[in-house]
Amino acid sequence: MNRLILLASIFLMFGCAKAQELQLGAARMGEYLPLSEGKRIALVVNQTSVINNTHLVDTLVSRGVNVVKVMAPEHGFRGEAPDGEKVDDTKDAKTGLPIISIYGKTKKPTPEMLEDVDVLIFDIQDVGVRFYTFISTMHYVMEAAAENGKQVIVLDRPNPNGMYVDGPVKDDDVNSFVAMHPIPVVHGLTVGELAQMINNEGWLANGATSDLKVIPMLGWDHSQTYSLPIKPSPNLPTDNSITLYPSLGLFEGSVVSVGRGTDHPFEVIGHPDYTPGTYEFTPQPNEGSKYPPMEGKLCKGQSFVGTAAKPEFTLKYLLEYHQEIKDDTTFFRDYIDLLSGTKDFRKQVEAGMSDAEIRATWQPKLNAYKALRKKYLLYKDFK
């Protein structure tokens, strides 16, 4: 009898585990297809918007959903445009649907774009870093929907950097498409959780509130790692690059190359004047970067290719390179203020403050953010 009880317990244990396998928001069609009945749908999607090996556009069209257009963010519908490159309007060859750029003449859907739309469905894989632009696109979609009386449905996906929170919180006097929200560099939220925070904290223009519906995932929590099945953008091709992105991304506001124009973007760093470097590379134009920083110059630095990067936000490498290259008049570009979210960060590094001293200045606002974040969690938090 005891053996039967043991076997039954094992069966139940494994059965429960199976029941908790990851189910993306997009896969939970029973939760959002009823909301699309009789409605004209715009899909805000890209190459990551796939469930069961089929793109969401194709899935919904095949099910008779009245999809009237696709709206494409940075990198375009197929995710092939280089970082920062203007995306043009086009047409989907398979479905014939118009693909409207919201990373071209405008980053915010216009009233004209929404005239024939009732509901906007957002389904894009994010990487959990404030300066990654898909969350800014989501913000503008919500804002435009609120101003034009449309509903927004966010289909949630895992955050591959969702197991920690770190970095400076954006100051009020620093604002751009890569610095839209008063959140830290690593915000620790899924797009669905962040959408609720944006909506309820009054961060949309004029304090507007979007008619928002989030479709949560099943079988995921913030302690889990997540390997992205499709690269979210041309220069984040590996899990390792995504893990390193929060820390190495700050180098984009400096003269140091992060490997754009190589086979290993965000897995290598270097500069011609970094003499301690033992790894060498020469950036050249490629599909992911037409005009890479340090193009044609031999860079000396470090490679993290093949390593298992630790999920963390570290200033170690930035401080090391700044110390070695030294010239404060040329090391940083103005973009560093937007990436760090504060005008103080550049000054702190240039003043020779240590990692610990700089971090101490973040803590009051970071602690306040952490308390705010807990109000919007849809999943069990990391410990």
Last residue of a domain, one of 182, 215, 248: 215
In the chain, the amino acid numbered 294 is M
Q: How far is CA 12 from CA 15, 21, 132, 219, 246, in A?
A: 5, 15, 41, 16, 40
Last residue of a domain, one of 181, 215, 249: 215
Instruction: Give the closest residue to 28 by CA, choosing from 188, 219, 198.
Output: 219
Task: Identify whether 365 is part of a domain.
Answer: no
Q: Return the SS3 of 272.
A: coil
Task: Identify whether 45 is part of a domain.
Answer: yes
Residues 193 and 67 in one domain: yes
Q: Which domain holds residue 252?
A: 239-352
Residues 190 and 69 in one domain: yes
Last residue of a domain, one of 156, 180, 215: 215
Are residues 277 and 357 in contact, defined by beta-carbon separation less than 8 angstroms? Answer: no
Residue 23: how many other CB atoms lie within 10 Å:
15
Residues 248 and 193 in one domain: no
Residues 83 and 139 in one domain: yes
Q: How far is CA 121 from CA 64, 79, 157, 213, in A?
A: 15, 18, 13, 9
Residues 32 and 171 in one domain: yes
Which CATH number does the domain housing residue 33 bear? 3.40.50.12170
Residues 154 and 255 in one domain: no
Residues 313 and 181 in one domain: no
Residues 270 and 206 in one domain: no
Residues 64 and 169 in one domain: yes
The pLDDT assigned to 2 comes to 45
Residues β-bridged to residue 189: none
Q: Return the SS3 of 222.
A: coil
Task: Identify whether 230 is part of a domain.
Answer: no
Number of domains in the chain: 2
Kindly give the residue spans of alpha helices, DSSP state H, lying in 203-313. Answer: 239-248
Task: Identify whether 104 is part of a domain.
Answer: yes
Task: Identify whether 224 is part of a domain.
Answer: no
Task: Identify whether 19 is part of a domain.
Answer: no
Residues 92 and 179 in one domain: yes
Task: Identify whether 210 is part of a domain.
Answer: yes
Residues 152 and 39 in one domain: yes
Give the tokens for residue 218.
């099943």
Task: Identify whether 206 is part of a domain.
Answer: yes
Are residues 166 and 184 in contact, defined by beta-carbon separation less than 8 angstroms? Answer: yes
pLDDT tens digit sequence for 42-72: 999 999 999 999 999 999 999 999 999 999 9
Percent helix, strand, coil in the chain, to 5, is 35, 15, 50
The pLDDT assigned to 86 comes to 72
What is the reported pTM? 0.92
DSSP state of 104: S
First-to-last alpha carbon distance for the chain, in angstroms, is 38
Q: Phi/psi class of residue 149: alpha, beta or left (left: φ > 0; alpha: ψ in -120 to 50)? A: left
**Residue-wise pLDDT tens for the chain (383 aa)?**
344 344 444 434 444 434 479 999 999 999 999 999 999 999 999 999 999 999 999 999 999 999 999 999 887 787 665 666 777 888 988 899 999 999 989 999 999 999 999 999 999 999 999 999 999 999 999 999 999 999 999 999 999 999 999 999 999 999 999 999 999 999 999 999 999 999 999 999 999 999 999 999 999 999 999 999 999 999 999 999 999 999 999 999 999 999 999 999 999 999 999 999 999 999 999 988 999 999 999 999 999 999 999 999 999 999 999 999 977 678 999 999 999 999 999 999 999 999 999 999 999 999 999 999 999 999 999 98
Residues 48 and 175 in one domain: yes
